[in-house]
Structure 1
Amino acid sequence: MDSTPLRSYWQRHGGRLTVLLAATVAALSVATGVANIGARSVVGPLGQFVPEWIQRTAGFTGALTGFLLVVSALGLRRRLRVAWYATTILLPMGALQGLLQSSSLSVPLVVLSIVTLPVVLANAARFDRELSVSTSQLAAGAALVATQVYGTVGAYTLREDFTTIDTPIDAFYYTIATASTVGYGDAVPTSQAARLFGISVVLLGASSFALALGTLLGPAIEARFSRALGRMSGGQLELLEDHVLVLGYGDLTEPVVTELTDAAEFLVITPDSEQASALSDRGVDVLTANPSDEEPLQHARIDDARAVVVATDDDAKDALAVLTARDLNDEVYIVAAATDRENVPKLERAGADTVISPASIGGRLLVRSALDRSDVYDAVAQLVEE
């Protein structure tokens, strides 16, 4: 059996398969964890060995592991190395928690976790990006952690001035409930110092939570605005892999976009903002920039592109775009369309692997069809054979 197609598929889609499997395990972990939290009896092969409280605790921690796997799967989509490390740790944890839950609902989770782990390990080289954290994100994380530490230590120190705080866990619970402004009212301050401390936890907690939400929602809002304006955000560009770059947009480009829509992932780069906005409204990924500039091609991850297509109505601009693309990636396959037949050699010298002249091909098709009185598809087949 020829393994070449399987190897080719693995090389192209191994990363996406890893992300898909990790996300599926995450969903199963959350679902089975929630289902087993409220279980009243323990069943399954380990039922007689696992106490009920361990099974219910495993359900709770399994749900938490599932949420962490969701985060790591999102990190895998961005090819982050730290997300790969996290996933390799969380998958065995999820399988172990599924075993401890000892429920028939946990069987798919255990099996899929075991199957996914070798796939993640085999694709380790694909996830090679370092985590880039902005100053605002660091500040938000530090503020959030500092607030929880301050509230927990302070509440435990003042535990005699509260009604139900006796342990560090009680103090941490009080801090979470107060800082998030939930305030269940089960830990009541009984002294002036405790009340003032509670006020400080509310103010610091609300501020840190707002700062954290801002840093998380900010990129998402930016992405929505960027798409509305016909642009792609940095996060969206980082997800591109094994894609086709379409440099420029014109009358010749529209059939290319139509053909690629169901065939491969692609990105159009055009300097025309109106064209970019129209393409974006159709759901096409587009970057508003000059396709002959190096910076937008680097942002569009030309190093990871499977092919480059250049097909506008301006052969001079196409030649410059081909030159830039070839200079940035000397291995990518470049296909160009020449409006004038005389420009075919020029585009080839610029670095295009294949240059097609639509006018020349159209003329030959018309002549073949007229002389042979054959169907246009038969004429195309004859040209292909030649």
Structure 2
Amino acid sequence: MVGDWVTERLPENWRWIVTTRAAVALVLVVALLSVATGILRIDQAAADFGPLAPHVPVAVQDAVGFTGALTGFLMLGSVLALRRGLRAGWWATLLLLPLTAVQGLLQASPYSLPLVVLSLVSMPTLLLTRRRFDRSLSLTTTQLAAGGALVGVQAYGTFGAYALREDFDGVEHLLDAFYFTLITSSTVGYGDIGPTTEIAQLFTMSVVVLGVASFGIAIGALVGPAIQARISKTLGIMTDSELELLENHVLVLGYGDLTEPIVNELADTDEQFLVVTRDETAASELSERDIRVLSGDPSDEGPLRRAKIESARTVVVTTNNDAEDAMAILTARELRPDVRIVTAATDRENTAKLERAGADDVISLAELGGHLLVRSALGSDESSVVSRLLESE
């Protein structure tokens, strides 16, 4: 791929400058400029094209304004996909950027010059960040069916209206038929095109019924999960469908000062992990960092069952409170007798108690701190905290 070839030959310090945020920000600016210049161009006459006018078809001259605005709105959608790291958003943006540049040239306006320049600048920036947009777009069967129903109804209305064009006042071409279908199925109904016979009236009623149903189903299936995911992210709650995907994961019970470096190291690895905490503020902050988190008491059976402890690889208990750690260990051991449980004792005297509660390995923070200090003073290499927690006995 061109993006991979360019990225491999880019100096290392440049790769840090060309960040994902910079790419998304550039595309967002291009989208906003496309909308703004498109709106400004709508009310301008074709003669405003100047020297380009003789070479640009009249239909293009008439449509360049609203199509530029439409492209801008489509690119705003691709920006949202880029923010989620979706590969589909990357491809959509890569296809739309040349289109915005061409539309900027056709608009032949002083306001469109920044649009052309930024569109051209954004393309190599997008190519350099290709590898960072690696999430796949997964649609459920319901979402695919809803989208298919919406498209099917529009096709039914368009071709049906065109076939019955003799029974309609104002339908002469496929574009007229599509316009009639879209306006009718969305219940806008301007009245400029109407049926003149009974069969056309019956057909129009079917388009209204099917159109309203398909729009409602599509909005519920396509937009509903996104709203639910956003609410869940704000509240720090994973949905059941997201929890079902967990398998052979690391279960982190509790969240505090000790947990933060563990979560950071896990996030830098390929380990699949989930944090269970009753601290709603911490849960919200973790969600904003795209870290899987479930709000709940880590010592209760319900949250641990939802976190799929039965398929967890390891349980790490770090609530910063030895008494709460013991309760979480007891619950985890009862639900999953064979799972490896690792914890840390804030008080050295509680090490044996936590082992009796069911922990396989208890790390004394005092001993670990002294050990790391000596290793650092002697210049020896030390494995990460995560490696220490996940290593087998």
The two structures have a TM-score, normalised by structure 2, of 0.65
Aligned equivalent of 1:99, options 105, 113, 133: 105
Letter in 1 for 2:35: V
Q: Which residue of 2 aligns with 1:67?
A: 73
Deviation at 1:343, TM superposition (A): 4.8
Deviation at 1:168, TM superposition (A): 0.7
1:352 corresponds to 2:385:
yes
Aligned equivalent of 2:94, options 85, 88, 93: 88
Deviation at 1:115, TM superposition (A): 0.3
User: Quick check: 2:31–2:72 contact (8 Å CA) kept in 1?
Assistant: yes
1:127 corresponds to 2:133:
yes
Letter in 1 for 2:30: V
Q: Which residue of 2 aligns with 1:242?
A: none
Q: Which residue of 1 aligns with 2:255?
A: 249
Deviations 1:93-112 (A, max 9, x none): 11001000101111111010
Gaps of 5+ in 2: 1-10, 244-250, 265-272, 309-315, 330-340, 345-362, 376-381, 389-393
User: Does the residue aligned with 1:271 lie in a helix, a strand or coil?
Assistant: strand
Aligned equivalent of 1:320, options 342, 345, 348: 342
Letter in 2 for 1:276: E
Distance 1:311 1:210 in 2: 45
Distance 2:26 2:122 in 1: 6
Letter in 1 for 2:182: I
Distance 1:159 1:280, change over 3 A: same
Q: Which residue of 2 aligns with 1:368?
A: none
Distance 1:216 1:346, change over 3 A: farther
User: Quick check: 2:38–2:68 contact (8 Å CA) kept in 1?
Assistant: yes
Number of aligned residue pairs: 306
User: Does the residue aligned with 1:129 lie in a helix, a strand or coil?
Assistant: coil
Letter in 1 for 2:36: A
Deviations 1:54-84 (A, max 9, x none): 3341112111211221122222222222222
User: Quick check: 1:144–1:208 contact (8 Å CA) kept in 2?
Assistant: yes
Identity %: 46
User: Quick check: 1:56–1:101 contact (8 Å CA) kept in 2?
Assistant: no
User: Does the residue aligned with 1:130 lie in a helix, a strand or coil?
Assistant: coil
Distance 2:137 2:283 in 1: 31
Distance 1:223 1:133, change over 3 A: closer
Deviations 1:29-68 (A, max 9, x none): 1111111111135157746755675334111211121122
Aligned equivalent of 1:179, options 176, 180, 185: 185
Distance 1:222 1:247, change over 3 A: same
Structure 1 window deviating more from structure 2 (342-351 vs 14-23): it is 342-351
Gaps of 5+ in 1: 238-244, 261-267, 298-307, 323-337, 356-386
User: Quick check: 1:42–1:55 contact (8 Å CA) kept in 2?
Assistant: no
Structure 1 window deviating more from structure 2 (204-213 vs 223-232): it is 223-232
Q: Which residue of 1 aligns with 2:145?
A: 139
Aligned equivalent of 2:367, options 313, 320, 342: 342
Distance 2:211 2:125 in 1: 41
User: Does the residue aligned with 1:320 lie in a helix, a strand or coil?
Assistant: strand
Distance 1:57 1:117, change over 3 A: same
The two structures have a TM-score, normalised by structure 1, of 0.66
Distance 1:78 1:339 in 2: 39
Distance 1:209 1:351 in 2: 52
